[in-house]
Amino acid sequence: MMDAQLLISGVIFGLSIGAIFFLMAIGLSLCFGLMRIISLDQLLYYSIGAYITYSLSLASGSVWLGVLGGMAVAGITAFAVERFVFLRIYERELTFSMITSFGILIGGIGVIKFFWGVVPRPVPVPTLAQIDIFGTDVPVYRLIVVAIAFLVYGGIWLFLNRTITGKAIRAGIENVEHVEGLGINVSRLFTITFVIAGTLSGLAGGLHAPLIMVDPQMGLEVLAFVFMVVIIGGLGSIKGTLVSAFIVGQVVSLGSLVYAPLAQMAPFAVMMLILLVKPTGLYGSTLVKK
């Protein structure tokens, strides 16, 4: 029914999609774990990353330069939003941050429309090279995306486990008050975490741009999938995010080989099944109160 070539392409496709989801989900997961906020505006930084990549690659001829630029602008925007908006709402309940960040996302889409208009734009793939894997031609670019995701995972792991700031963040995920009681400036920790999340989302957008058309609504289209990953993996768990990004990526990809329309819906079904059994996701904690 499904020949080997299709299968291999499907797996690689799924891995690259999973990589994109992972890059975004990490930020969301960390922001929730440490600051107890739902940061829907990460989808905006994703879009910003994609659009800046588009413009910069058009201007300079180099897509990679565009991606770097996208990351930078996304990170700066995230910094500004954190300082002006989130600073005021850390003490409020979860729904508050959800609604506010959603407003930022929608408003940001408006800003994008203002500068770039509504017409979808194409971004060239940095390399059209293909490599032969088990008899199938696989786009090298997709493999690069996957490799970058693994590098980022390694980098985040090193950051969280080998640097003092990272350890402070891990400690803060367990109990922010105790960290603050030791004299550590948690306000700065929050900002650092938020900017990391925004930059990673920008990277995700920049990397994804050549694979799809950039349009103002792109953040909303991916929103559901990214949250699927976060929920399945459990908010606050990095390992869980990696695993569930992998799962969702494969389900979307291989599922579409089996029956296309169903594949879009399959992750949601998987998510509902998981939540049925474990209402906090695969690796999520039951912590609710701040």
Partner 1 sequence: MLNALRWWSGILLAFSLLALSRVFLPLPFVIEVVIFSIYTMGCSFLLGRVGFISFGQPAYLAAGAYGTAFYLFYFGANPYVGILLGVLSGLVVSLIVGPLFVRLRSDYFALVNLALAVIVYYLMQKVLADITKGDNGLWFLTNIASTPVLDLTRPNQFFVFALLVAFAVWAFYKYLDDSVFGACCLATKINEDKLEFIGYSNYRVRLLAFVIANTTTALAGALYAIYLGFVSPEITSPSRAADPVVVTILGGVGTLYGPIVGAFAYTGMKDVISKLIGNWELFIGFLLVFIMLAGEKGIWGTLQPRLEKLFLRGKAATTPADDGETRR
Partner 2 sequence: MAESGHSLVVRGLNVSYGESKVLFDVDFTVAPNQVVACVGRNGAGKSTLLRSIAGFLKPLSGTISSDGVDLVGRRSYDIARLGIKYVPQDKKVFSDLTVRENLELGSYATKDYNWDRVHDFFPKLKELMDRKAGFLSGGERQMLMIGRALLGSPKVLLIDEPTEGLAPSIVAQLKEVFGALSRNTALVIVEQNLPLVCAIANKVYALKEGRIVAELAGESIRPAACEPYL
Task: Count the Cβ atoms, other than its own, within 10 Å of residue 265.
Answer: 12
Residue 125, classed as helix, strand or coil, is coil
| Residue number, 68 or 168, with CB nearest to partner 2 | 168
Q: Which of 23, 223, 247, 248 binds partner 1 (CB under 8 A)?
A: 223
Q: Which residues from 172-211 bind partner 2, rule CB under 8 A?
A: 174-175, 177-187
| Residue number, 60 or 175, with CB nearest to partner 2 | 175
Residue keyed to tokens 């695993």: 243
Residue 154, classed as helix, strand or coil, is helix
| Residue number, 3 or 91, with CB nearest to partner 2 | 91
Nearest approach in angstroms of CB 247 to partner 1 is 15
DSSP state of 121: B
Tell me the chain's radius of gyration from C-alpha atoms: 19
Nearest of 191, 205, 235, 241 to residue 44 by alpha carbon: 205
Q: How far is CA 16 from CA 47, 142, 150, in A?
A: 18, 6, 11
Q: Using an 8 Å Cβ cutoff, are 145 and 19 in contact?
A: yes
Nearest approach in angstroms of CB 161 to partner 2 is 9
Nearest approach in angstroms of CB 232 to partner 2 is 22
The interface partner of residue 265, options being partner 1, partner 2, none and the CB cut-off 5 to 8 Å by kind, is partner 1
Parallel/antiparallel/unpaired status of strands 130-133 and 136-139: antiparallel
Q: Using an 8 Å Cβ cutoff, are 36 and 287 in contact?
A: no
Q: What angle do CA 55, 59, 61 make, to 5 degrees?
A: 105
| Residue number, 135 or 183, with CB nearest to partner 2 | 183
Binding footprint of partner 2, residue count (CB under 8 A): 18
Give the Cα separation of 57 and 207 in Å (integer). 12
Task: Count the Cβ atoms, other than its own, within 10 Å of residue 87.
Answer: 13
Examine residue 163 and tell whether it contacts partner 2 (CB under 8 A): no
| Residue number, 131 or 265, with CB nearest to partner 1 | 265
Give the Cα separation of 209 and 188 in Å (integer). 31
Examine residue 171 and tell whether it contacts partner 2 (CB under 8 A): yes
Give the Cα separation of 54 and 121 in Å (integer). 8
Q: Which of 3, 95, 128, 177 binds partner 1 (CB under 8 A)?
A: 95
Q: Which of 140, 170, 280, 285 binds partner 2 (CB under 8 A)?
A: 170
Examine residue 168 and tell whether it contacts partner 2 (CB under 8 A): yes
Find the part of the chain contacting partner 2 (CB under 8 A) among 26-34, 144-152, 163-171, 236-244.
163-171
Q: What does the binding site for partner 2 look like in residue numbers (CB under 8 A)?
A: 164, 167-168, 170-171, 174-175, 177-187
Q: What does the binding site for partner 1 look like in residue numbers (CB under 8 A)?
A: 32, 38, 85, 88-89, 92-96, 98-100, 102-111, 113-114, 216-217, 220-221, 223-224, 227-228, 231, 235, 260-262, 264-265, 268-269, 271-272, 275-276, 279-281, 288-289
